[in-house]
Amino acid sequence: QQQVKQSPQSLIVQKGGISIINCAYENTAFDYFPWYQQFPGKGPALLIAIRPDVSEKKEGRFTISFNKSAKQFSLHIMDSQPGDSATYFCAASMNNNDMRFGAGTRLTVKP
Amino acid sequence: KAGVTQTPRYLIKTRGQQVTLSCSPISGHRSVSWYQQTPGQGLQFLFEYFSETQRNKGNFPGRFSGRQFSNSRSEMNVSTLELGDSALYLCASSLGQGGSLHFGNGTRLTVT
């Protein structure tokens, strides 16, 4: 059962541009929303995470925007770089480790 | 601090065999979770162990089992392998319930 829907499936952005990935969830009991970055041959690495009492969180070039009423959250990558080319996963959990992942977005940043 | 270590990195097995995968968590982390990653189904939760006890279990058949040792190291076992079990199996550790997951680089299992 897919509880977290992620879009787009793939994204191509020019260097310096803004990459935006969106996710929607169904279960209102979710209270932890992380984003993971995965490079080929590697496991997912935590990028940034947010809890529903905050509408936005920024860490460097990465920002999560969270809309609790719409049950949506998104990742914005500012000044995208070729090194950001990877697969990004959103996820949600209910304060445990049964993390529900989105299907992933393959980001390509063209130089 | 060393990251999550999974062994082996690659494994090739035949249908009907069984396999055991190993995971060493980050030092001090007491929770270990296992995930299956496939192109079709994405990342799916298998189970989570904390202090040698299974705390949560995903929607996988009983052929998938695991255990955790007193030093927090964990093993995952898959019996009677099927072709559809071919996947990247990821282990993640965290300090405890609700903590950030730290993933290993996975074990790539191929069933022929």
Going residue by residue through chain A, which has 111 residues, state the pLDDT in tens, using 9 for 90 and above: 568 999 999 999 999 999 999 999 999 989 899 999 999 999 999 999 999 999 999 999 999 999 999 999 999 999 999 999 999 999 998 866 678 999 999 999 999
Work out the burial of residue B98: count CB atoms within 10 Å of its CB; fewer than 13 is exposed, 13-18 middle, 19 or more buried. Answer: middle
pLDDT, residue A97, reads 65
Model pLDDT, residue A3 = 87
Best to test chain A binding among B45, B51, B59, B89 (most A CBs inside 10 Å): B45
Contact call for A97 and B48, based on CB within 8 A = yes
> Smallest Cα–Cα separation from A93: which of A32, A44, A28?
A32
Among B43, B54, B97, most A C-beta atoms within 10 A, so best to mutate, is B43
Specify the pLDDT at position B96.
76
Question: In chain A, what residues touch B48 (CB-CB under 8 Å)?
Answer: 96-98
Partner-chain residue, chosen from B42, B97, B104, that has the shortest CB–CB distance to A96: B97
Q: Is B62 on the interface with A (CB under 8 A)?
A: no
Q: Which two tokens stand for residue A84?
A: 């950001």
Q: Which of A2-6, A88-92, B18-22, B82-86 is predicted with the least confidence, judged by mean pLDDT?
A: A2-6
- Residue B16 is classified by DSSP as T
A43 and B58 within 8 Å at the Cβ level: the answer is no
User: Quick check: B76 and B21 in contact, CB under 8 A?
Assistant: yes
Residue of A nearest to B57 (CA): A98
Between CA B57 and CA A89 the distance in angstroms is 21
Residue B110 has pLDDT above 90, yes or no: yes
Three-state SS letters, chain A: CCCEEEECCEEEEECCCCEEEEEEECCCCCCEEEEEEECCCCCCEEEEEECCCCCEEEECCEEEEEECCCCEEEEEECCCCHHHCEEEEEEEECCCCCCEECCCEEEEEEC
Tokens for B47? 């189970």
Does pLDDT of B55 surpass 70? yes
Phi, psi of B75 (to 5 degrees): -130, 150
With beta carbons under 8 A apart, name residues in chain B contacting A103: 42
The pLDDT, as a whole number, for residue B99 is 72
Is B104's pLDDT higher than 90? Answer: yes
d(CA B69, CA B67) in angstroms, rounded, equals: 7
